[in-house]
Structure formats: C-alpha cells, structure tokens
C-alpha cells in the first residue's frame, strides 16, 4: 500500500492546472446510460473512482473507450446486464447513481448497497422513496436494491426531507425519461448537480431550475448521442489554495472557476490571503505572512462545503489565533483532528465542533488517512511540519486527487510516493 513522504518547511510557489470535477464526472458517466447513442465526455480526471465507474459500466456491458486526451466515449446501447455487483459498488458510493438511469431506461435495476468513505451515515432512503413515488417497485434482498417498473416511470412531485446531492442526481436522471413532469423540491444546488443537468439537456433532456431548490424535469422519449465537457473540480481547487495559505505561499491555479468557490475564497481572504481571479483562474498570495484563524460552519451549497472542512482545519492549526469549526453534514468528518494533534496541533472537540488554537509550526509524524478529504488535510499538515511526515493509506487520496504529488512538486513541495510494505 503506497504512502506519501513529505519533507515540510517551504512555501508553495508556482502555477498548476486544475482537473475535471470527480463529483461531476461520476454522475455524468452514469447519465450516459440514458442515451440512445455514444456520448463523448471530456476533461475527465484520472482517478481511482473514475476507473471504478469504468469497470462498473463495463460490467453492465456498456462500451467505454478512453483516448489519450482523457476523453471517454460511452455507448450504452451494448448494455446486457442490469446488475451492479457488490465487488465494485462496495468501494465507491457514487455507484448508486446507476440506479435511476438504468431503471428509467431499461425498466429494471439490481444495485448492491454502496460503500465509500467512512465519514458517517448516508442512507439511500431518499433515492428509493423518490423512485417509488415515480412508480417503481423496490425490494431489498441480500444486500441488493432490486427495482423495476411496468412501462415508463411516471412524473411526480417529490419533496426531499433533507438536501441530498446523490438523491437529487439519481431522481433527476430517472425523471429525464419518465412520462410527464417531475418536480423535485428541496433539491441540492451544488454546481455538480447543475453540471449534470446541463449534460442531460445537451443530450436532449428538459431540466429547468438548476442552481435553485426546485428542479423541474419534463420527461422526453429519448436522449440522443452527443458530447459534454466536465466542469473544473472546485474541491481540488480549494485544497491547493488551502495548502498555499497554510505554507504562506503564492500560487496560480488555471482551468478552474472562481464563481463556484465563493464561500471558500471568502474564508481564505479572512485568513489574510490576497486573492485575485479571472475567467478561468484563481491566484492566492500570502505575501509570506502566517494565516489568521477563521470560524466557519459547513452546510449545503452555497455555504461552506463539508469537502473543504478538513483542509481549512489544517490551515487553522497553524494560524494566528483560535478558530471554531462546526461540521453539520457528516458526523465523523472531524476524525482527522486526532492525527493533526499527533503532529502538534492543539484541537479540542466538543460534539460536532472543533476548537483550534493555532501553533507556529507542526511536527512531522507518521499519520494515517481515514477518508478522502482527511487525507488531503494530512498532506497539507506535512507541508507545514518540521521533519519528514509519512501519510499512510493514501488510496483514499487517489480516489479524488489526480497526481497530487506531481502537482505539489510543480509548486516546489518536497513530496514523493513510496511503496508500502
């Protein structure tokens, strides 16, 4: 099992390119099941989760062809199986996203309950309840969700009990080919949800209201072949900005979108960063200064994203002052604070709130990643620690960050991948 070896101490300087968004690419790849012809997807990130989705689609009989430009042509007309098996689904929660499109297109879907990061309870009840409201018959047997419908799914008025990105995406895809109009209230507003809606529309779908809490989907008979470019990854963008802030550096991130990261940019400016933006780039300059502590609470978009909480916690760990962080989305998302404390951070937990008293520097130590974003926070910690830090279980980070050590090396970091024992 590979590890990352980091010799900390220096600021990050330079320019890097941001990859396509994993959290857009996965649902959009699932949405290709809706089309009656090949769909070409570009700006696909090279990640373990993407490879898992390739394997899942291939297991269903779907033709997936990847070219040297990381463009993926997906043709679902060759699909011959309706079973998403446990061995693939257990490693990635986004596998559940094949349920809605497969059911609405083929009338049947058998999907294992999903796995993924151990960051708390993420039940699929909202997915199943919404599909049942659209006429699906669902039973659970042997750890599998067995769904079927007689004819087409029917449009429905669905009020979500809580905001759920995955359920919004699954139900939107199911509604794209349903008979009649579907309205989803209390829908997720995340940019990745908007990206999926734009992709469905590019293939002939009729989705309106994206970016608001009410989505309206008028079902169509078919979706056609086409092409679509994945949006930039806002969480990767925020992670490198946080790393630059923690190390007192100066970076420019290209091929990204500053408009989808406003909550994070505001907090980085509060921390003392000088930020400038263009149409497709963001620059951050700490001017050599230590960051200042910030307070924030995670909440659904457009508020501060839970996927950036761990990274900003690390910035607070080396900031001047005391910062309070409240995690409202996932109950285990503060688990990385224990590893940070092993590196000399001063963090105390009170329920779902972390109180972080900043220290001048952290100290190198062997640490272990528990989930995707926690692993990114530990890499940042290694960059600001005295000595050599080893981050173990980095298979988590490979699920969501493309070539992280290479990009950090481009910014001057002393980091390399070493084989595990």
Give the C-alpha separation, 369 to 375, whole Å.
5
Q: Cα angle at 282 between 314 and 364, to 5 degrees?
A: 25
Catalytic: 117?
yes
Q: Which two tokens stand for residue 119?
A: 């960051």
Instruction: Give the helix ranges, DSSP H, for 120-251.
Output: 125-133, 165-176, 191-202, 234-246
Residue with token string 């990635």: 92
Instruction: Report the distance separating Cα 168 and Cα 28, nearest Å.
Output: 13
The residue among 155, 166, 47 whose CA lies nearest residue 96 is 166
Catalytic residue among 117, 149, 199, 250: 117
User: Which alpha helices (DSSP H) does 85-212 contain, by range?
Assistant: 86-89, 99-106, 125-133, 165-176, 191-202
Q: Which residues make beta-bridge pairs with 76?
A: none
Task: Give yes or no for a contact between 365 and 343, defined as CB atoms under 8 angstroms apart.
Answer: yes
Q: Which residues are catalytic?
A: 117
């Amino acid at each position: 099992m590979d590890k990352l070896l980091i010799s900390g101490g220096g600021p990050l300087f330079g320019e890097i390119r941001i990859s396509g968004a994993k959290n857009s690419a996965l649902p959009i790849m699932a949405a290709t099941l809706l089309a009656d012809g090949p769909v070409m997807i570009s700006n696909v990130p090279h990640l373990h989760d993407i490879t898992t989705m390739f394997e899942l689609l291939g297991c269903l009989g779907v033709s997936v062809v990847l070219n040297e430009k990381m463009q993926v042509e997906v043709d679902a007309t060759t699909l011959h199986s309706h079973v998403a098996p446990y061995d693939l689904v257990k490693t990635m929660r986004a596998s559940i996203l094949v349920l809605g499109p497969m059911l609405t297109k083929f009338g049947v879907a058998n999907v294992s309950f999903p796995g993924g990061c151990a960051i708390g309870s993420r039940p699929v009840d909202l997915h199943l309840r919404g599909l049942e409201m659209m006429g699906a018959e669902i039973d659970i047997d042997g750890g599998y969700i067995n769904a079927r419908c007689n004819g087409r799914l029917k449009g429905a008025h669905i009020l979500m009990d809580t905001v759920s990105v995955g359920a919004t995406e699954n139900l939107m895809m199911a509604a794209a080919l349903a008979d009649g109009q579907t309205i989803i209230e209390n829908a997720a507003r995340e940019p990745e949800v908007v990206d999926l809606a734009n992709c469905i529309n590019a293939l002939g779908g009729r989705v309106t209201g994206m970016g608001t809490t009410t989505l309206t989907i008028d079902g169509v008979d078919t979706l056609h072949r086409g092409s679509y470019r994945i949006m930039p990854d806002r969480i990767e963008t925020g992670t490198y900005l946080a790393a630059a802030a923690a190390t007192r550096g100066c970076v420019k991130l290209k091929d990204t979108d500053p408009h989808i990261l406003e909550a994070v940019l505001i907090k980085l400016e509060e921390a003392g960063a000088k930020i400038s933006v263009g149409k497709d780039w963001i620059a951050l300059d700490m001017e050599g200064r230590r960051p200042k502590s910030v307070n924030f609470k995670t909440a659904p978009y457009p508020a501060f994203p839970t996927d950036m909480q761990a990274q900003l916690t690390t910035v607070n760990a080396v900031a001047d002052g005391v910062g309070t962080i409240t995690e409202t989305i996932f109950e285990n998302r503060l688990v990385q604070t224990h590893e940070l404390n092993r590196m000399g951070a001063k963090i105390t937990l009170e329920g779902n709130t972390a109180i972080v008293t900043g220290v001048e520097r952290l100290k190198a130590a062997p640490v272990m990643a528990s989930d995707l974003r926690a692993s990114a926070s530990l890499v940042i910690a290694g960059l600001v620690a005295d000595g050599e830090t080893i981050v173990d279980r980095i298979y988590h980070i490979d699920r969501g960050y493309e070539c992280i050590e290479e990009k950090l090396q481009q910014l001057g970091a002393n980091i390399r991948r070493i084989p595990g024992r």
